Amino acid sequence: MSYDRSRLPDPAAFYVEHRGLKLLPGKLWRSGGPCEFHGGGRDCMRVNVRTGAFKCMNCEIGGGDVVAYLMAVECIGFIEAAKQLGAWTDDGKPAPRNPMPFSARDALAVCDFEITFAAIAAGNMAHGIPLTDADRARLLLCANRLCRVHEWIAR
């Protein structure tokens, strides 16, 4: 099995047809409507129509291509994202087993920070302090980071 980047969909087509963004006229970087990650923000998502890179101007989530986008939004691994995008070919060889992209110590540090953040947000809500849009966006990023650590550890 191997990854064939040339088989990735056209970034503009991916974002419009598969993710429902409405790309505004522009050049390389174009606004694309609300952000799927924090669930709001009019035209806050920016996508690069050549590389597929993305960046939310509100919650600041971002990545380098459509694979990174799909991994983040669906909380799936690289191979699964590449398969869904048609860029993973079966050549009869076993899939490569990549090492963890971070150490166990780093994974624990991320979990510690994100769990503490979620606990503080929950505590605030329990005391009647509503979440701001930025808080909600950060909680989604928190969940995504924890999901990512879980995914790598569970492999």
Q: Under the rule (CB under 5 A), what is the footprint of Zn ion?
A: 35, 37-38, 56, 58-59
Q: How far is the CB of 33 from Zn ion (least distance, A)?
A: 11
Q: Identify the CA nearest to 58 among candidates 85, 38, 73.
A: 38
Pick 107 or 141: Cβ nearer Zn ion: 141
Pick 59 or 142: Cβ nearer Zn ion: 59
> Are the C-beta atoms of 21 and 54 separated by less than 8 Å?
no
Amino acid letter for position 121: A
Q: How far is the CB of 32 from Zn ion (least distance, A)?
A: 11
Pick 62 or 77: Cβ nearer Zn ion: 62
Give the DSSP per-residue string, 98-111. Answer: PPPSS-HHHHHHHH
Q: How far is the CB of 141 from Zn ion (least distance, A)?
A: 8
Bridge partner residues of 35 (DSSP): 40
Q: How far is the CB of 57 from Zn ion (least distance, A)?
A: 8
User: What is the rounded distance in angstroms from the CA atom of residue 144 to the CA atom of residue 37?
Assistant: 9
Pick 52 or 107: Cβ nearer Zn ion: 52
